[in-house]
Each structure stands twice: as structure tokens, then as C-alpha cells.
Copies of this chain bind each other. A is one copy, B any other.
Amino acid sequence: MMAGLDDSRLFPMEPSARELAAALYQTVKDLPIVSPHGHTDPRWYAENEAFPDPAQLIVTPDHYVFRMLYSQGIPLEKLGVPSVDGRAVETDGRTIWRLFASNYHLFRATPSRMWLDHSFQHVFGLTKRLSAETADKFYDHIADCLQKPEFRPRALFERFGIEVIATTESPLDDLRHHRAVRDGEWSGRVVTAYRPDNVVDPEFEGFVENVAKLGELAGTDTSTWDGYLEAHRVRRAYFKEFGCTSSDHGHPTARTENLDQSEAAALFDKALRGACSPEEADAFRGHMLTEMARMSIEDGLVMQIHPGSFRNHSGGIMAGFGRDKGFDIPSRTDYVRALKPLLDAVGLEPGLSIILFTLDETAYGRELAPLAGVYPSLKLGPAWWFFDSAEGMRRYRELTTETAGFYNTVGFNDDTRAFCSIPARHDVARRVDCAFLATQVRTGRLDEDEAFEVAHDLTYGLVKKAYNL
């Protein structure tokens, strides 16, 4: 049926707006990809090995894909999702692929479908629709491609037009792959980001050992509060050697605290003894955001806060398959009261830049746009995770632009570990933004020449500036 993607996809339906959206898109579609936040594996770039089979590339690691299949009763075992409790799972790529393909209708009208179709077409040259009938043809073709040099990570990186990509590492990572890339001959720009959840959250598995290891890596005594803070400074400086321009913080809520140093030190001691109550752990996490903000003022790292995910919601799946298996569910998030301690402490400092994300869209218009529209330290991150979609991005612009404008936003994040979907994701964002701008112009809210300038800014200018890339 399908003869490839619709060239006008995601543009407004009204012809004059569609025409303008297309014209805007023409000016941004080939701009380089700047990917300031994501979860691709730095090993890919360092080692440049061929990707494994199509199922292991596209199905098994992508929680968007397997969660939808699981929701319709297809066991994770049959999708080859690795278990943690020793149960057997399917390992034959073709068997997994066929199961996926024969349920491809489940993805109708989802972003996964658009990303997958885009990847099939633009990365692998497949324009038919995936289905039970075409499953083997797709599998064979993709498997063949993956053996070729032009489908290795570095070649795809270049083909995708990636100017720079950030990965995300914990302070305990030795950054060996980043070192290999940096010191090697390949010119691709891969940078790291500082994600300290495992040494900042007293409830994180292995927190006490993690903090000890942090001290070893940093050469400071992390059994003391001052030594612990110093260790962060040391590791942040180390990360900066590998291009790091940002930190990232994935807390359950946006709570911040600004405790007295003695109080913070006491909490830290308690955390090291494993004695924090949930409330104390939360307070400590909250206080650490303020400490991280203080360090950002010193060292210039941009801070990202990604709050509000109820992680690993199903006890049964956690026991059987572990973390990150599609069972992270958004929850209501307050920002107004939560951020006040940090903002009262450092929110007016000229050097500080904090990029806020949300999984609670009601916060866009009510809290985030009003906050980012006045605090010089705050910027709005793009629509995130479940909302990294055509409708999600449209709502994001509609709910934030009138209060925060365009210039308190920071461009697009693909935030993905699905390498082949990167061009597709950026393409969706560019199209949705051009559609929004064209609609603004055709309803008399923006001049046409401004729309072209803004389209460039939303695609390229703002992300470079916001992330210092």
C-alpha cells in the first residue's frame, strides 16, 4: 500500500499554510543535527563495530517498541528482552522480527511508527510497509546492510549529519570510550554529560559504595561532606575534558532544598550510614540540586532536570526483567514550590542555566512557561519522552510560546538510545516547528521573515547556544 512517507507529513492541511511550512522546512531540513542529550552508547563510536541483527538493533532494546507489544499480551520473553531472573528468552532475531512485524498495526499513529518508517526508508531504503508478509524481506535486507561498512556507527553518524552528539555517563564512568574517540583519528564530535543520580540519591542501589568509588576516582575523601562536594567538582572537571557541557538530574520530583551546610553534612552522614528516611533522602536529593547549581555557576555546566517519572512501576517486571522495561509512568509534578529553594538561592545569578523538562504537560502553561518566562536562569527543555511526538510538540508550542516565547526554549533533544531513529526524531521536530510557525504566520501572529529566522533558531541556533556546543 504505502509508497513511502508523505513529503508533507505533519504540515498543516490548509494549502497556504502547508506551502509555507514546506518552504520553512526546506531551509532547515538539512541543517546539521545537534544532539545535546541522549543515551547512545559511546562504545559504538569508539569501536565502530557493526550493529547486530535487525531485532537486536530495532526491537529488543527499544522500550517504546516492546512496551506496546507487551501491552497487547505479547510476552517480553518472546521479544528477546533479557531477563534478570534467569528465565529463558527468545534469541533468534528472525523469530523476534516476525513477531514484531506481524503486530506492526499496533503502532499505527504512534511516533514509533513514524520513526521506524523513516528509518526503514531513509537508513535502509525500504519503502514498503512492514507486515507479516514483508517481515522476512525487511529482515534480510537490513541484516545485509548491517554487514556493510557504510552502516557502521561512524558512517551512519556522518550520513545522519550529526555535528555533535552527547551521551550520558555517571561520575563513576571512566569515559574510556570518549577517550578513545577523542584520542583517535575519527573527527566525529561525541561529548559526555554528567549524570550523578547514582552518587546523589541515597535510595539508589549501591549508593554507599558508589560514593566511595567516587572518592577513589576523584582522589578525595568522600566520607566527609566537603570531600564529597570536592569529588563532584573534580569529576565535573574531568568530564569537561571530554567535551561535557551539561549535567543531568533524573529525580522523582523537582524538589529542591537549600539547607545549611551543617544540616546538609549531617544528612550526608546519615545517607552514608544508610539511615535516611524516604523524606530525608528526598531532602538530600533536593539539596544536591542546589549544590549542583552552585557548581554550574563555577564551572559553566548547563544543568538539566528531568523529574517526575515513577520508575519501574511493576514489581513483577522489575523482578523478572529489571529496570527500564517500559514501566516508567509519568506522574504529577509541581515546580512552583519545588524549585523555590534553589531559585531563591541562585536563580538570579547571571552565569546559571537550568533546563527544565516535564512529563506532566499541565505544568507547561501553568508553571514552566511562567517560570522560564521570568527567571533568567531557567529555560524550557523540549517535549520529553511520551510527548516527543507530533501532538506532544504541538501542545508544547501552543502551551509555552505565548508566555515564554521562543527564546526561552532550547531546541530539540532526541534523548534516545535508538541510533537509527535519530534523523527521524529530528525530522519530526523540524516539521512540527515549521507547521507551528506557518500557522502563526497564516493567522497573523508572526511575520513571514521572522518565521524563517525562528525556524533556524529552533533547529540550530538555540540548541548550540543553550548547551554551549
B445 touches A109 (CB 8 A): yes
Expressed in whole angstroms, the Cα–Cα distance for A73 and B353 within the complex equals 11
Q: With contacts A313-B336, A362-B362, A447-B1 known, is A386 near B370, CB below 8 A?
A: yes
The chain B residue with its CB closest to the CB of A346 is B316
| A72 contacts B by Cβ under 8 Å | yes
Partner of A366 from the list B330, B375, B398 (CB cut-off 8 Å) is B330
Q: With contacts A71-B373, A72-B407, A373-B67 known, is A446 near B109, CB below 8 A?
A: yes
B387 touches A110 (CB 8 A): no
Interface pick from A4-12, A85-93, A231-239, A293-301: A4-12
- Report chain B residues within 8 Å CB of A107: 405
Copies of the chain in the assembly: 3
Instruction: List A56-74 residues whose CB lies under 8 Å from chain B.
Output: 67-68, 70-73
Distance of A375 from chain B, by nearest CB (Å) = 7
Expressed in whole angstroms, the Cα–Cα distance for A442 and B420 within the complex equals 26
- Report chain B residues within 8 Å CB of A105: 407, 450, 453
The chain B residue with its CB closest to the CB of A310 is B336
The chain B residue with its CB closest to the CB of A441 is B6
Q: Hey, what's the 0/1 contact readout for A426-469 against B, CB within 8 Å counting as 1?
A: 00000000000001101111111110011000000000000000
Q: Hey, what's the 0/1 contact readout for A324-366 against B, CB within 8 Å counting as 1?
A: 0011011110101100100110011010000000011110011
Distance of A317 from chain B, by nearest CB (Å) = 7
Q: Hey, what's the 0/1 contact readout for A6-24 against B, CB within 8 Å counting as 1?
A: 1111111110110000000
| A166 contacts B by Cβ under 8 Å | no
| A371 contacts B by Cβ under 8 Å | yes
A386 touches B367 (CB 8 A): no
Instruction: List A305-333 residues whose CB lies under 8 Å from chain B.
Output: 310, 313-317, 326-327, 329-332
A327 touches B374 (CB 8 A): yes
The chain B residue with its CB closest to the CB of A349 is B316
- Report chain B residues within 8 Å CB of A443: 6, 8-11, 13, 390
Expressed in whole angstroms, the Cα–Cα distance for A365 and B447 within the complex equals 33
Q: With contacts A442-B13, A449-B1 known, is A71 near B390, CB below 8 A?
A: no
- Report chain B residues within 8 Å CB of A369: 386
The chain B residue with its CB closest to the CB of A343 is B314
Distance of A127 from chain B, by nearest CB (Å) = 12
Q: Which of A71, A337, A444 has the most CB of B within 10 A?
A: A71
A366 touches B372 (CB 8 A): no
Q: Hey, what's the 0/1 contact readout for A398-421 against B, CB within 8 Å counting as 1?
A: 110111111110000000000000
Expressed in whole angstroms, the Cα–Cα distance for A405 and B448 within the complex equals 36
A72 touches B408 (CB 8 A): yes
A71 touches B370 (CB 8 A): no
| A389 contacts B by Cβ under 8 Å | yes
Q: With contacts A9-B443, A386-B370, A390-B445 known, is A313 near B340, CB below 8 A?
A: yes
A68 touches B317 (CB 8 A): no
B367 touches A331 (CB 8 A): yes
Q: With contacts A348-B317, A376-B72 known, is A391 near B386, CB below 8 A?
A: no
The chain B residue with its CB closest to the CB of A8 is B444
- Report chain B residues within 8 Å CB of A156: none
Distance of A331 from chain B, by nearest CB (Å) = 5
Q: With contacts A8-B444, A108-B450, A365-B386 known, is A331 near B326, CB below 8 A?
A: no
B365 touches A361 (CB 8 A): yes
| A54 contacts B by Cβ under 8 Å | no
Expressed in whole angstroms, the Cα–Cα distance for A292 and B234 within the complex equals 56
The 7 closest A-B pairs by CB, nearest first: A9-B444, A6-B444, A13-B14, A67-B374, A389-B402, A315-B344, A330-B366
A68-B373, A72-B407 given; name 5 further pairs at CB < 8 Å: A6-B444, A14-B14, A107-B405, A110-B402, A391-B402
